[in-house]
Structure 1
């Protein structure tokens, strides 16, 4: 019998019966997997092995297909997952967001917080055999990324100088303290690129962008557009006996039901991010040959919200935004729409990110409080019970976001807020939100390990930039918030930083520039034969240098 959620429109209930879709997808999947290494895998779990085994191809999914594998030019999630095996940053981070070696074997920070010195691993080579040196680091951070990578530009523009002390030592001198700087060296934030390939060229049109050359444990062998991307072992990798895998094949499977079937049948070893719709997660968790984890996303720390355009009345009134917050049940959203994936947020900083403070105003479901706020605004119900009408444009990224839009329409109607749902495609959504042509939309952003890197950008009045996505597209402005974010970004004392970030969280929780919905958790499913995956805060985007397959 089909499970139904009472009190919601039929369109909200679509998708709970998946058997037909999985069966229909079987034929498509057979064609999709007709690529190297696609032989069906035995679904029974193998006995755990303590000693790593060398060899074997890891099969994973990449969805959607990346536009490029040149990570410096594109940082979308699919690009990061594939290109994180090809390129490397100076650092990676553990799941508590502490820095770990990657291309840098050690580093020091001066007592005044102005000088960061990195010692590089020696004997590192680019995939074309040329040596990787401090010159490549200086070029990457002072020229290449400054031109093409907005997030890296924001970090490295704070440098007074970037100097190669010798072939394996790089010194960054800051203009003023910026304690978040140590979080700026992860592979998607600052991928190292070869100076001998890019120096003196037009970076965006360099032919090498089609055949990326990195230092990582895997090299690009073949990319059949619309079908698969195959990486193979870098035999000259600087770490002895690594990587263990012969290679990794990333399969492009656009159909959600086919992705589920590929994992279920053992045709792929791994899925990540939003490869699976949340309603598939409980069924997959019950499968004996799979393990699931939500670890490995601490660095990105995704936080979703209702993004509200403050230029539109009555959305500019915080009482109206609070009424929306009281009218929705975020536990229902987590448990029934995201099927238990996620945590209930309290404010603008994800609870896994440094300087999070839970001691702020929170909003549980309370229809009486919502109606009282609307009454206070003078928004009385008409003959049909409608106080105000708003337009909500859900993110066009799968069925779950559509369901969320339908839930919001149903919930807000209970307090007299009528909702008109608007649909669009990904390009249209990006264009409309970035150009402020919306009333309410759903959105989520990454926080990158420190509020100065991934939180402040949403609320700073200096970041109200028309046409720029993931900026302060709401148009929110509060001089005290600007002041606190600026002060905290350059404060070396962590106790004082906490005080500043606590105050800013308190202000934002009261003013609700957005209505926070969910600290999102992405499920990573792994065949039980996959060993050593998901050990860091960047999880599936890490190098996979020591991941191996049990026999």
Structure 2
């Protein structure tokens, strides 16, 4: 007997009288390189694209699957067959009908080529994907994969139009810059360096929605200017990272202002240093361990993030399934760091380091500055090579053109989706920042994470992943820094803003401005 799953309606528990019309103004920073989330997985792209593209499912705050393009689904008793029944009457923004063939093409063709994180899942676990009729899609797995049900939100598997992409070069297709989706908002205009404008989709498949006429994402490079825009009422919504953390306390105290840390349950963003292990000095584990002792991570949380974070213990965030705090620790100790450098036998004067900051705002700039100062105390010679935009950073990281950089990873509700992708040796691939770009290779780690993903019993999965976490921390497979707490600050007139586990990175189809 198959398990039948049909989600309920997401609400905030408060009833308002929805009003039609109005323009919601938000900020997107840094400016995304493109708006096709099936190709680019950077946070700014996901934020905008989620209003255009949709996944089969979305998820409530407790990660319970909810309907999106799929109205219901079943999972076979052996955990191998997932069958999705699609919504009726859905159209692409250009008027073409949406069908099961679009789902099959997206997952089996396009994402298999363009999306390294999902490609790993597809190649490793999916045996076949079949459209059994126009409104039904059946996924058959090679072996059970417990996290599979969490893979279908718009940021992971955004469904794209087969009729626009089939037979084209996916990465250069013009639709990447003028996207066509099924979502509540249609792409209207992108004025580079200024704004991205989306307009209401009058043929949206949810009757009466969306309520907003427009969503405009302003590109404002300076954090102080973004804060002023919110204060003046020119911007309605600020998401985590849009303003300096030092300004958060002041802004949240403004009249008619709401503040929330909710809406990140699916992502649980986790920040770390990336050390390129392909060459000295970071090919030496003792050097990487020295780096961890040289960085005062609590100082970063307290003085750079202003408390909006938590020191990370390892590769899995404390809010994510299978987290285990019982791992090796790296106390802040310059003395210990120097001892490890000496023990490593590495002459740091002969191995200068190119540090590539991540261009995601002033907090990240300060983290890079602090890291440089800290590592120079133990003998590193570091040259900072800043880039001005997210696209340039993405290109360099994706092509392994760096020595030391920073990133944060979304956990996607389960380490089998959000964590193992960063460490499996099979996922050392160019062209993405969400793979094993640091070149970490440990067959034992591969074995443990693979076994943890294939096990069905939760206790058994925990056993494998607990051992894997210890190993990854001991090897310093990445330099774990902190778990990010992302505040959303918004005007009180904006209603239904945070309805799911992905918060403001959801569709906005139920958002309205109370007049």
Q: TM-score range by the shorter chain?
A: 0.7 to 0.9
Question: Which of 218, 233, 236 in structure 2 is aligned with 1:251?
Answer: 218
Which residue in the other structure is 1:547 paired with?
A: 511
**TM-score (norm: length of structure 1):** 0.82
8 Å CA contact 1:127, 1:234 repeated in 2? yes
Tell me: CA distance 1:82–1:379, structure 2 relative to 1, closer, same or farther (3 Å): closer
Q: Secondary structure at the match of 1:400?
A: helix
Question: Which of 344, 362, 376 in structure 2 is aligned with 1:399?
Answer: 362
**TM-score (norm: length of structure 2):** 0.88
Tell me: CA distance 1:323–1:141, structure 2 relative to 1, closer, same or farther (3 Å): closer
Q: Secondary structure at the match of 2:310?
A: coil
Counterparts of 1:357-376 in structure 2, within 5 Å, are: 357-374=324-341, 376=343
Question: Which of 449, 457, 468 in structure 2 is aligned with 1:485?
Answer: 449
Counterparts of 1:15-414 in structure 2, within 5 Å, are: 50-157=16-123, 158-374=125-341, 376-377=343-344, 391=353, 393-397=355-359, 398-412=361-375
Tell me: CA distance 1:392–1:282, structure 2 relative to 1, closer, same or farther (3 Å): farther
Q: Secondary structure at the match of 1:67?
A: coil
8 Å CA contact 1:394, 1:402 repeated in 2? no
**After superposition, what is the alpha-carbon deviation per residue over 1:428-455, rounded to whole angstroms, capped at 9, x for unaligned?**
6555544555443333223322212221
Which residue in the other structure is 1:420 paired with?
A: 382
Deviates more, 1:358-367 or 1:498-507: 358-367
Q: Secondary structure at the match of 1:483?
A: helix
Tell me: CA distance 1:543–1:466, structure 2 relative to 1, closer, same or farther (3 Å): closer
Which residue in the other structure is 1:528 paired with?
A: 492
Deviation at 1:338, TM superposition (A): 1.3
Whole-Å Cα distance in 2 between the matches of residues 211 and 309 of structure 1?
A: 35
Deviation at 1:104, TM superposition (A): 0.9
8 Å CA contact 2:280, 2:351 repeated in 1? no
Deviates more, 1:361-370 or 1:166-175: 361-370
Deviation at 1:207, TM superposition (A): 4.7
8 Å CA contact 2:82, 2:140 repeated in 1? yes
Unaligned runs of 5+ in 1: 1-47, 381-385
**After superposition, what is the alpha-carbon deviation per residue over 1:278-313, rounded to whole angstroms, capped at 9, x for unaligned?**
233232222223223232233233222222233444
Unaligned runs of 5+ in 2: 1-13
Whole-Å Cα distance in 2 between the matches of residues 404 and 291 of structure 1?
A: 28
Tell me: CA distance 1:515–1:496, structure 2 relative to 1, closer, same or farther (3 Å): same
Q: Secondary structure at the match of 2:301?
A: helix
Whole-Å Cα distance in 1 between the matches of residues 190 and 396 of structure 2?
A: 33
Aligned residues: 498
8 Å CA contact 1:301, 1:350 repeated in 2? yes
Q: Secondary structure at the match of 1:343?
A: strand
Question: Which of 439, 463, 473 in structure 2 is aligned with 1:509?
Answer: 473
Tell me: CA distance 1:341–1:167, structure 2 relative to 1, closer, same or farther (3 Å): same
8 Å CA contact 2:273, 2:480 repeated in 1? yes
8 Å CA contact 2:276, 2:400 repeated in 1? yes
Rg comparison, structure with higher value? 1
8 Å CA contact 1:282, 1:339 repeated in 2? no
Tell me: CA distance 1:420–1:110, structure 2 relative to 1, closer, same or farther (3 Å): same
Whole-Å Cα distance in 2 between the matches of residues 437 and 136 of structure 1?
A: 36
Deviates more, 1:133-142 or 1:495-504: 133-142
Whole-Å Cα distance in 2 between the matches of residues 436 and 227 of structure 1?
A: 30
Which residue in the other structure is 2:7 paired with?
A: none
**After superposition, what is the alpha-carbon deviation per residue over 1:445-481, rounded to whole angstroms, capped at 9, x for unaligned?**
2332221222112222333346654433333222211
Tell me: CA distance 1:125–1:501, structure 2 relative to 1, closer, same or farther (3 Å): same
Whole-Å Cα distance in 2 between the matches of residues 455 and 538 of structure 1?
A: 17
